[in-house]
Chains A and B, each alone.
Chain A
Amino acid sequence: MSMQEEKPLRITRAVVLVAQALLDKADERQWGYDVAQRAGVSSNALYQVLGRFYERGYLADGWEDVDPAEKRPPRRYYTITPDGLARLGAILAHARQDRRFAGLNLNPGLAQ
Protein backbone atom coordinates (compact mmCIF):
# COMPACT_ATOMS: atom_id res chain seq x y z
CA MET A 1 0.00 0.00 0.00
CA SER A 2 2.12 2.80 1.20
CA MET A 3 5.29 2.71 -0.81
CA GLN A 4 8.34 3.17 1.30
CA GLU A 5 11.21 5.27 0.08
CA GLU A 6 13.33 3.29 -2.28
CA LYS A 7 16.32 1.89 -0.44
CA PRO A 8 18.90 -0.20 -2.24
CA LEU A 9 17.92 -3.84 -1.93
CA ARG A 10 20.57 -5.76 -0.03
CA ILE A 11 21.10 -8.97 -1.92
CA THR A 12 21.26 -11.82 0.53
CA ARG A 13 21.08 -15.56 0.09
CA ALA A 14 17.38 -15.54 0.94
CA VAL A 15 16.70 -12.76 -1.58
CA VAL A 16 18.39 -14.75 -4.33
CA LEU A 17 16.64 -18.00 -3.45
CA VAL A 18 13.21 -16.39 -3.25
CA ALA A 19 13.80 -14.46 -6.48
CA GLN A 20 14.68 -17.70 -8.22
CA ALA A 21 11.65 -19.49 -6.79
CA LEU A 22 9.37 -16.66 -7.92
CA LEU A 23 10.84 -16.63 -11.41
CA ASP A 24 10.40 -20.39 -11.67
CA LYS A 25 6.66 -19.80 -11.98
CA ALA A 26 6.66 -16.22 -13.14
CA ASP A 27 3.30 -16.41 -14.93
CA GLU A 28 1.41 -18.01 -12.06
CA ARG A 29 0.02 -16.94 -8.74
CA GLN A 30 2.59 -17.54 -6.02
CA TRP A 31 1.57 -18.82 -2.60
CA GLY A 32 3.72 -18.25 0.46
CA TYR A 33 4.28 -21.81 1.59
CA ASP A 34 4.89 -23.07 -1.95
CA VAL A 35 7.49 -20.38 -2.56
CA ALA A 36 9.19 -21.25 0.73
CA GLN A 37 9.32 -24.91 -0.25
CA ARG A 38 10.81 -24.19 -3.67
CA ALA A 39 13.25 -21.63 -2.29
CA GLY A 40 14.21 -23.71 0.73
CA VAL A 41 13.90 -20.82 3.15
CA SER A 42 12.10 -20.43 6.48
CA SER A 43 8.85 -18.54 6.80
CA ASN A 44 10.71 -15.76 8.59
CA ALA A 45 13.11 -15.22 5.70
CA LEU A 46 10.42 -15.72 3.08
CA TYR A 47 8.06 -13.05 4.36
CA GLN A 48 10.87 -10.60 4.97
CA VAL A 49 11.93 -10.93 1.34
CA LEU A 50 8.37 -10.90 -0.01
CA GLY A 51 7.76 -7.72 1.98
CA ARG A 52 10.81 -6.06 0.46
CA PHE A 53 9.83 -7.06 -3.07
CA TYR A 54 6.27 -5.94 -2.51
CA GLU A 55 7.30 -2.54 -1.13
CA ARG A 56 9.42 -1.96 -4.20
CA GLY A 57 6.63 -2.89 -6.57
CA TYR A 58 8.20 -6.09 -7.86
CA LEU A 59 5.15 -8.02 -6.68
CA ALA A 60 1.42 -7.36 -6.66
CA ASP A 61 -0.93 -9.23 -4.36
CA GLY A 62 -4.48 -10.49 -4.08
CA TRP A 63 -6.68 -12.80 -2.04
CA GLU A 64 -8.04 -16.09 -3.25
CA ASP A 65 -11.74 -16.81 -3.50
CA VAL A 66 -12.59 -19.48 -0.98
CA ASP A 67 -15.64 -21.68 -1.04
CA PRO A 68 -17.45 -20.94 2.26
CA ALA A 69 -17.86 -24.69 2.73
CA GLU A 70 -14.10 -25.01 3.17
CA LYS A 71 -14.25 -23.02 6.41
CA ARG A 72 -10.81 -21.53 6.14
CA PRO A 73 -9.58 -17.99 5.56
CA PRO A 74 -8.54 -16.92 2.05
CA ARG A 75 -4.84 -17.13 1.25
CA ARG A 76 -2.86 -14.21 -0.06
CA TYR A 77 -1.12 -14.69 -3.35
CA TYR A 78 1.56 -12.72 -5.13
CA THR A 79 2.13 -12.11 -8.82
CA ILE A 80 5.23 -10.68 -10.41
CA THR A 81 4.78 -7.26 -11.99
CA PRO A 82 6.41 -6.45 -15.37
CA ASP A 83 8.93 -4.28 -13.55
CA GLY A 84 9.49 -7.04 -11.01
CA LEU A 85 10.21 -9.54 -13.73
CA ALA A 86 13.11 -7.43 -14.95
CA ARG A 87 14.35 -6.61 -11.44
CA LEU A 88 14.25 -10.18 -10.19
CA GLY A 89 16.03 -11.31 -13.32
CA ALA A 90 18.69 -8.71 -12.64
CA ILE A 91 19.07 -9.96 -9.07
CA LEU A 92 19.68 -13.48 -10.33
CA ALA A 93 22.09 -12.26 -12.97
CA HIS A 94 23.98 -10.36 -10.29
CA ALA A 95 24.00 -13.37 -7.98
CA ARG A 96 25.50 -15.56 -10.66
CA GLN A 97 28.49 -13.23 -10.81
CA ASP A 98 28.83 -13.02 -7.04
CA ARG A 99 31.14 -15.47 -5.30
CA ARG A 100 29.02 -15.44 -2.16
CA PHE A 101 26.32 -17.33 -4.02
CA ALA A 102 28.61 -19.73 -5.82
CA GLY A 103 27.24 -22.63 -3.77
CA LEU A 104 23.66 -22.00 -4.85
CA ASN A 105 22.31 -23.95 -7.74
CA LEU A 106 21.03 -20.99 -9.74
CA ASN A 107 19.14 -21.79 -12.89
CA PRO A 108 20.98 -19.89 -15.63
CA GLY A 109 17.87 -19.86 -17.80
CA LEU A 110 16.01 -17.57 -15.40
CA ALA A 111 18.54 -14.76 -15.19
CA GLN A 112 18.07 -12.25 -17.97
Chain B
Amino acid sequence: MNDLVSAPISPWYTIPASVGLLALTFVFAPGVLLHLGVLIYPKGHARRQEFTAELYAVPYVKRPFWVASALVRCMFEGIPERSRGRRRVARADHVDQERFHEQEILRELGITTNEYQDMHKDAVQQVRRVRYMIREGEVIRNISWSFTDKEGRAWIVSPRNLRHRRSLGVVFEGLTFVRVNARETDT
Protein backbone atom coordinates (compact mmCIF):
# COMPACT_ATOMS: atom_id res chain seq x y z
CA MET B 1 0.00 0.00 0.00
CA ASN B 2 2.78 2.33 0.93
CA ASP B 3 4.47 1.56 -2.42
CA LEU B 4 1.33 2.50 -4.32
CA VAL B 5 1.09 5.86 -2.63
CA SER B 6 4.69 6.72 -3.28
CA ALA B 7 4.58 5.59 -6.96
CA PRO B 8 5.28 8.41 -9.42
CA ILE B 9 2.06 9.92 -10.73
CA SER B 10 1.97 12.06 -13.83
CA PRO B 11 0.96 15.64 -13.12
CA TRP B 12 -2.48 16.80 -14.27
CA TYR B 13 -1.10 18.74 -17.23
CA THR B 14 0.53 15.74 -18.91
CA ILE B 15 -2.40 14.98 -21.21
CA PRO B 16 -3.13 18.55 -22.32
CA ALA B 17 0.59 19.11 -22.78
CA SER B 18 0.85 16.02 -24.98
CA VAL B 19 -2.11 17.11 -27.07
CA GLY B 20 -0.57 20.55 -27.38
CA LEU B 21 2.75 19.09 -28.41
CA LEU B 22 1.09 16.94 -31.05
CA ALA B 23 -0.85 19.91 -32.39
CA LEU B 24 2.34 21.95 -32.46
CA THR B 25 4.27 19.24 -34.30
CA PHE B 26 1.68 18.25 -36.86
CA VAL B 27 -0.52 21.34 -37.31
CA PHE B 28 1.07 24.66 -36.38
CA ALA B 29 4.81 24.17 -36.76
CA PRO B 30 4.73 22.79 -40.33
CA GLY B 31 2.57 25.67 -41.53
CA VAL B 32 4.61 28.32 -39.77
CA LEU B 33 7.94 26.89 -40.89
CA LEU B 34 6.78 26.53 -44.48
CA HIS B 35 5.43 30.07 -44.58
CA LEU B 36 8.80 31.28 -43.31
CA GLY B 37 10.75 29.00 -45.65
CA VAL B 38 9.02 30.17 -48.82
CA LEU B 39 10.11 33.72 -48.02
CA ILE B 40 13.50 32.66 -49.34
CA TYR B 41 12.03 32.84 -52.83
CA PRO B 42 11.85 36.29 -54.42
CA LYS B 43 8.55 38.10 -54.07
CA GLY B 44 5.95 36.87 -56.52
CA HIS B 45 7.73 33.58 -57.23
CA ALA B 46 5.24 30.82 -58.02
CA ARG B 47 6.73 28.44 -55.48
CA ARG B 48 5.72 30.69 -52.59
CA GLN B 49 2.09 30.15 -53.38
CA GLU B 50 2.54 26.62 -54.63
CA PHE B 51 4.13 25.22 -51.48
CA THR B 52 1.75 26.85 -49.05
CA ALA B 53 -1.31 25.84 -51.08
CA GLU B 54 -0.10 22.27 -51.45
CA LEU B 55 0.24 21.90 -47.71
CA TYR B 56 -3.55 21.86 -47.43
CA ALA B 57 -3.59 18.67 -49.49
CA VAL B 58 -1.09 16.86 -47.28
CA PRO B 59 -2.48 14.79 -44.39
CA TYR B 60 -1.55 16.14 -40.96
CA VAL B 61 0.51 13.07 -40.11
CA LYS B 62 2.75 13.55 -43.12
CA ARG B 63 3.08 17.33 -42.91
CA PRO B 64 6.28 17.53 -40.85
CA PHE B 65 8.11 15.31 -43.34
CA TRP B 66 6.64 17.06 -46.35
CA VAL B 67 7.59 20.45 -44.95
CA ALA B 68 11.11 19.38 -43.98
CA SER B 69 11.72 18.22 -47.52
CA ALA B 70 10.09 21.31 -49.01
CA LEU B 71 12.33 23.54 -46.89
CA VAL B 72 15.36 21.87 -48.45
CA ARG B 73 13.96 22.75 -51.88
CA CYS B 74 13.33 26.32 -50.73
CA MET B 75 16.98 26.67 -49.82
CA PHE B 76 18.45 25.04 -52.90
CA GLU B 77 16.09 26.78 -55.31
CA GLY B 78 15.18 29.99 -53.52
CA ILE B 79 18.66 31.24 -52.68
CA PRO B 80 19.98 31.00 -56.27
CA GLU B 81 16.73 32.55 -57.56
CA ARG B 82 17.12 35.43 -55.15
CA SER B 83 20.73 36.01 -56.09
CA ARG B 84 19.86 35.90 -59.79
CA GLY B 85 17.08 38.37 -59.05
CA ARG B 86 19.47 40.78 -57.41
CA ARG B 87 21.75 40.69 -60.42
CA ARG B 88 18.81 41.44 -62.66
CA VAL B 89 17.78 44.40 -60.56
CA ALA B 90 21.32 45.70 -60.68
CA ARG B 91 21.06 45.71 -64.45
CA ALA B 92 17.88 47.78 -64.13
CA ASP B 93 16.25 45.88 -66.94
CA HIS B 94 12.55 46.70 -66.77
CA VAL B 95 11.38 43.56 -68.46
CA ASP B 96 13.39 41.32 -66.18
CA GLN B 97 12.22 43.14 -63.10
CA GLU B 98 8.67 42.58 -64.21
CA ARG B 99 9.13 38.84 -64.12
CA PHE B 100 9.44 38.93 -60.33
CA HIS B 101 5.77 39.83 -60.14
CA GLU B 102 4.59 37.90 -63.15
CA GLN B 103 3.50 34.74 -61.40
CA GLU B 104 1.63 36.64 -58.73
CA ILE B 105 -0.22 38.65 -61.35
CA LEU B 106 -1.07 35.55 -63.38
CA ARG B 107 -2.40 33.82 -60.31
CA GLU B 108 -4.58 36.73 -59.34
CA LEU B 109 -6.00 37.09 -62.82
CA GLY B 110 -6.41 33.35 -63.23
CA ILE B 111 -4.67 33.10 -66.58
CA THR B 112 -2.14 30.55 -67.71
CA THR B 113 1.50 31.12 -68.54
CA ASN B 114 0.91 30.42 -72.23
CA GLU B 115 -1.88 33.00 -72.44
CA TYR B 116 0.38 35.54 -70.79
CA GLN B 117 3.21 34.86 -73.20
CA ASP B 118 0.84 35.49 -76.11
CA MET B 119 -0.23 38.77 -74.53
CA HIS B 120 3.35 39.78 -73.99
CA LYS B 121 4.18 39.18 -77.63
CA ASP B 122 1.22 41.33 -78.68
CA ALA B 123 2.31 44.08 -76.33
CA VAL B 124 5.89 44.03 -77.59
CA GLN B 125 4.68 44.35 -81.16
CA GLN B 126 2.57 47.31 -80.17
CA VAL B 127 5.51 48.93 -78.41
CA ARG B 128 7.55 48.68 -81.57
CA ARG B 129 4.76 50.45 -83.40
CA VAL B 130 4.64 53.11 -80.70
CA ARG B 131 8.37 53.72 -80.92
CA TYR B 132 7.96 54.23 -84.62
CA MET B 133 5.31 56.84 -83.83
CA ILE B 134 7.74 58.59 -81.48
CA ARG B 135 10.32 58.80 -84.20
CA GLU B 136 7.67 60.23 -86.49
CA GLY B 137 7.14 63.12 -84.09
CA GLU B 138 3.94 62.10 -82.32
CA VAL B 139 3.57 63.92 -79.03
CA ILE B 140 3.00 61.25 -76.48
CA ARG B 141 4.40 62.69 -73.27
CA ASN B 142 1.84 62.34 -70.46
CA ILE B 143 -0.67 60.91 -72.85
CA SER B 144 -2.18 57.53 -72.27
CA TRP B 145 -3.93 55.74 -75.05
CA SER B 146 -5.51 52.40 -75.51
CA PHE B 147 -5.62 49.77 -78.14
CA THR B 148 -7.26 46.45 -78.69
CA ASP B 149 -5.10 43.52 -79.59
CA LYS B 150 -6.05 40.84 -82.06
CA GLU B 151 -7.62 38.81 -79.26
CA GLY B 152 -10.00 41.64 -78.51
CA ARG B 153 -8.31 42.57 -75.22
CA ALA B 154 -8.05 46.21 -74.34
CA TRP B 155 -4.73 47.69 -73.20
CA ILE B 156 -3.73 51.11 -71.98
CA VAL B 157 -0.30 52.43 -72.82
CA SER B 158 1.46 55.16 -70.97
CA PRO B 159 4.93 56.51 -70.44
CA ARG B 160 4.01 56.73 -66.77
CA ASN B 161 3.80 53.76 -64.48
CA LEU B 162 0.13 52.89 -64.31
CA ARG B 163 0.70 49.42 -63.03
CA HIS B 164 -1.32 48.43 -60.01
CA ARG B 165 -0.63 45.39 -57.91
CA ARG B 166 -3.78 43.69 -59.16
CA SER B 167 -3.33 44.54 -62.82
CA LEU B 168 -1.51 42.81 -65.59
CA GLY B 169 1.16 45.24 -66.61
CA VAL B 170 4.03 44.95 -69.00
CA VAL B 171 6.82 47.47 -68.78
CA PHE B 172 8.81 47.60 -71.94
CA GLU B 173 11.37 50.13 -73.01
CA GLY B 174 10.09 52.68 -70.53
CA LEU B 175 6.42 52.34 -71.47
CA THR B 176 3.79 50.65 -69.36
CA PHE B 177 1.15 48.42 -70.91
CA VAL B 178 -1.78 47.73 -68.66
CA ARG B 179 -4.46 45.31 -69.67
CA VAL B 180 -7.93 46.63 -69.03
CA ASN B 181 -10.17 44.01 -67.49
CA ALA B 182 -13.13 43.71 -65.20
CA ARG B 183 -11.29 45.15 -62.23
CA GLU B 184 -11.78 48.90 -61.86
CA THR B 185 -8.50 49.19 -59.99
CA ASP B 186 -6.46 48.29 -63.02
CA THR B 187 -5.91 51.76 -64.24
Residues of A within 8 A of B (CB): 1-2, 31-34, 42-45, 47-48, 51, 60-63, 65, 72-76
Contact B77 A74 (CB under 8 A): no
Contact A43 B110 (CB under 8 A): no
A and B contact pairs by CB, cutoff 8 A, 24 listed: A1-B102, A1-B113, A32-B54, A32-B57, A33-B58, A42-B69, A43-B66, A43-B73, A44-B70, A47-B47, A48-B76, A60-B114, A62-B112, A62-B113, A63-B106, A63-B110, A72-B53, A72-B56, A73-B53, A73-B56, A74-B107, A75-B50, A75-B54, A76-B46
**If the complex has contacts A47-B77, A76-B50, A76-B53, are A2 and B99 also in contact, measured as CB distance less than 8 A?**
yes
Interface range for B: 20 to 34
B52 at the interface (CB under 8 A from A): yes
Contact partner of B70 among A47, A63, A73, CB < 8 A?
A47
Contact partner of A32 among B50, B76, B99, B117, CB < 8 A?
B50
Given A32-B54, A47-B70, output 18 extra A-B contacts at Cβ < 8 Å: A1-B99, A1-B102, A1-B113, A1-B117, A2-B99, A33-B57, A43-B69, A44-B69, A45-B69, A47-B47, A47-B77, A62-B112, A63-B107, A73-B49, A73-B56, A75-B54, A76-B49, A76-B54
Please report the C-alpha to C-alpha distance between residue A75 and residue B22 in the assembled complex, in whole angstroms.
Answer: 26
**If the complex has contacts A33-B57, A73-B49, are A47 and B110 also in contact, measured as CB distance less than 8 A?**
no
Contact A75 B53 (CB under 8 A): yes
Contact B57 A31 (CB under 8 A): yes
Task: List the B residue with the shortest CB-CB distance to A50.
Answer: B50
Q: A residues within 8 A CB of B103?
A: 1
Closest 3 CB pairs of A and B: A42-B69, A73-B53, A44-B69
B63 to chain A, nearest CB (A): 11
B72 at the interface (CB under 8 A from A): yes
Please report the C-alpha to C-alpha distance between residue A16 and residue B6 in the assembled complex, in whole angstroms.
Answer: 61
Q: A residues within 8 A CB of B112?
A: 60-62
Contact A44 B53 (CB under 8 A): no
Contact A44 B72 (CB under 8 A): yes
Residues in B147-168 with C-beta less than 8 Å from chain A:
none
Residues in B45-91 with C-beta less than 8 Å from chain A:
46-47, 49-54, 56-58, 65-66, 69-70, 72-73, 76-77
Task: List the B residue with the shortest CB-CB distance to A71.
Answer: B56
